[in-house]
Amino acid sequence: MKIEYPDLPVARRREEILEAMRLSQVVVVVGETGSGKTTQLPKMAVELAEALGQKGRIGCTQPRRLAATSVARRVAEECGVEVGGEVGWQVRFTEVCSKETRVKFMTDGILLAETQGDRQLRQYDTIIIDEAHERSLNIDFLLGYLKRLVDRRKDLRVVISSATLDAGRFSEFFGSCPVVEVEGRTYPVEDVFLEEFEGEGLREHVLRGVEYVTDLDAEGDVLVFLPGEREIRECADLVDGRGFQNTEVVPVYARLSLKDQERVFRPSGKRRIFMATNVAETSLTIPGIVSVVDSGLARVSRFSPQRQVQSLQVEMISRASARQRRGRCGRVREGVCVKLYGEEAFERCSEFTDPEIRRSALSGVILRMLSLKLGDVREFPFIDPPSPKAVGEGWKTLEEVGAVVGKGEVELTETGWRLAKLPVDPRLGRMLVESERRGVFEEVLIIVSGVSAMDVRERPQGKEDRADEAQRKFLDEKSDFGVFLNLWRGVGEFQTDKGKFQSNQLRRWCERNFLSYRRVREWLGIHAELRRSFRKEGAEGKAIETAADVYAEVHKSILAGIPRQVGVWDKEKRLYHGVGNRQFAVFPGSGLFKGKRALWVLGFELVETSRLWARKVAEIDPRWVEEVVPHLCRKKYHSPYWNDQQGAVYGTEDVVLGGGGKGSVRLVAR
């Protein structure tokens, strides 16, 4: 492969970067968006490795699949090689590499998974952690892992690439390692604050921002930042309907199909308005952007230890993110950044986005650390240690699902070791383990893979009624989990005897039923991956005779993973009462929202908006809780009385879930 460098700012600092890499095991490179870090640093690592006679791989991590694949194609093109040869990539479900692959681009999750089979990461001479400023859970975990690994592997080089000037944190973390700062290649950018009109929705506000930049320049490409796919679809429809001359609207988000990804980088001869999530903030550079319209919003994942729920919330971005978005324009000529919020709102924003470890459930992290024998999570070298409350909740979850045993020297149970090998949250893995024992593995595998993917059902704007009508046949009035089984039966009609799917027929069926073909394929991929990962343990479980038995055993299996997510109907408050005094309602999109009221329900997730909603809900028998998780139940005795006939004292036994106080739920009285 040929190593040549285009005229980019990072290439002008090549000698300084190479010298830093020669003298230090760890180097931090900070550069503004557009400086060329992502594409040029791997080539510098190859150049240095060849000069030193090293033959190992250069591993480059990206936070998102879209970035890993697109950057690999770009670097392969610059080096004059085919993708899959000397330059390859690997993401979930797909690997395009070979024995000849020298530079491997991958998601950070892939590298993290590789540590389980290769603790020393021996196949790599250099590891580049790109977009480290995003501070995802995987990135923070990798940084801590590499901090320990460089002490054991003196031949390993680590390059931390960041787009923010918070590099001092990374340098200090790695023992005051050298920092190389690279300037961006930018033209002047004008900032315009365009606040929302009273009564104006996001769609109309975005359209007004696009009209503003169009009045200034009717030919330059525009990048619009939005919080999620739904907002992209809604805004794209409105902007497209506006009829701007010689203009096309192009969506950009992490879950795009390969064909749609290529469309982003392929010139069309028209002016283009890109509607993007924050995947285009740092991970993906779209060429030719003249103007940016920034909604100031992002969808942020947060975990509440009290509710034991991970939810996605739309929030104002940090000032660092706002600067990244602004830096996407002004590269080809002078640009304009229209901010759809006021200066005061901008000043109230936090300086940096909270690292994911401060807003995530930690049971999976703790489980992974125990399986890798990395010690106590409270002693692991995280840049920002997680909160004690989140750590405590993580341990509590692992105890509930039977993954750990012991108080002082905690060890993984047999179940814990099995869960550690599955690429899903421990609670979902516990459902699979339980389902095998109960003889309903196939059904629960469908459900677990379904909840691990995004909802395949769509409700396009203006077609909500048609979508609801088409999807009504998939509903289950007793269980939202049954929807996955009903959908799976529909998908299964297009599977051949050899296990392949008739893509064209499946795609048309999805269109008729307002289902996302791309998400259905992802669901199928997760299902196949979980089946490969799950090693069955001999016995196939008990025989199931009736549909009622199947229903019971499936939901007992689900209950094993989320035992605290039950609720009993409170007639006075007209809400469900759950563990921890949680009062929640069934989400309107649930099949149980209308119709006969269920006395007891199990809710997969609790999400708070205007009120606390339970999503993915099923009717259950409270006696199942005592059967499945007796270790979480308490028995209380009261109302004693003397029975003359028996000559003994009798009373009432209450079985409660929870600690037995006000935050508990009475399951059975006998």
Q: Is residue 380 part of a domain?
A: no
Q: What token pair was written down for 446?
A: 């469908």
DSSP H or E run through 208: helix 202-216
φ, ψ for residue 658 (rounded to 5)?
Answer: 120, -165
Q: Is residue 417 part of a domain?
A: no
- pLDDT tens for 61-88 read 998 888 899 999 999 999 999 999 999 9
Count of C-beta atoms within a 10 Å radius of residue 606: 20
**Pair (155, 251) in one structural domain:** no
- pLDDT tens for 169-219 read 899 999 999 999 998 767 899 999 999 998 899 999 999 999 999 999 999
Q: Is residue 366 part of a domain?
A: no
Mean pLDDT of 423-430: 91
Mean pLDDT of 589-603: 87
- pLDDT tens for 464-495 read 899 999 999 999 989 999 999 999 999 988 88
**Pair (166, 245) in one structural domain:** no
**Pair (174, 230) in one structural domain:** no
Q: Is residue 610 part of a domain?
A: yes
**Pair (219, 158) in one structural domain:** no
Q: Is residue 104 part of a domain?
A: yes
**Pair (508, 566) in one structural domain:** no
**Pair (32, 147) in one structural domain:** yes
**Pair (118, 243) in one structural domain:** no
Instruction: Choose one of 182, 208, 232: the last residue of a domain.
Output: 182
Which residues are bridge partners to 159 per DSSP?
27, 128
Instruction: Choose one of 138, 153, 182: the last residue of a domain.
Output: 182
For residue 658, give every residue at least 6 positions away whose Cβ sits within 8 Å of its Cβ, in sequence order, or none.
Answer: 564, 579, 580, 632, 634, 664, 665
Q: Is residue 408 part of a domain?
A: no
**Pair (167, 197) in one structural domain:** no
Q: Is residue 496 part of a domain?
A: yes
**Pair (79, 135) in one structural domain:** yes
Q: What token pair was written down for 413?
A: 């149970």
User: What is the tally of structural domains in the chain?
Assistant: 4
What is d(CA 397, CA 563) in angstroms, rounded to the nearest whole number?
Answer: 10
Percentage of the residues of the chain whose pLDDT score is greater than 90: 49
SS3 59: strand
What's the pLDDT score for residue 539? 45
Predicted TM-score (pTM) of this structure: 0.72
What is d(CA 352, CA 164) in angstroms, rounded to the nearest whole number?
Answer: 9
DSSP H or E run through 40: helix 37-51
Whichever domain contains 250, its CATH number is: 3.40.50.300
What's the pLDDT score for residue 593? 86
Which residues are bridge partners to 248 per DSSP?
272
CA 28, 30, 34, 37: dihedral to nearest 10 degrees?
-10
**Pair (145, 209) in one structural domain:** no
Alpha-helical runs (H) found in 496-605: 503-512, 517-533, 547-561
Q: Which residue would you say has higher pLDDT here, 390 or 184?
A: 390
Residue among 37, 155, 59, 38 nearest 108 (CA): 59
**Pair (112, 256) in one structural domain:** no
**Pair (429, 291) in one structural domain:** no
Strand arrangement, sheet containing 57-62: 94-96, 87-91, 103-107, 57-62, 124-129, 157-162, 26-31, 179-182
Residue 139 contacts residue 129 (beta carbons within 8 Å): yes
What's the pLDDT score for residue 189? 92
What is d(CA 91, CA 173) in angstroms, rounded to the nearest whole number?
Answer: 28
Q: Pairing state of beta strands 648-657 and 665-669?
A: antiparallel
Q: Is residue 261 part of a domain?
A: yes
Q: pLDDT-derived band of residue 662, with 50, 70 and 90 as boundaries?
A: low
Average pLDDT value for the chain: 87
Instruction: Choose one of 151, 182, 213: the last residue of a domain.
Output: 182
Mean pLDDT of 553-570: 92
Residue 615: which domain range? Answer: 562-669
What's the pLDDT score for residue 310? 59
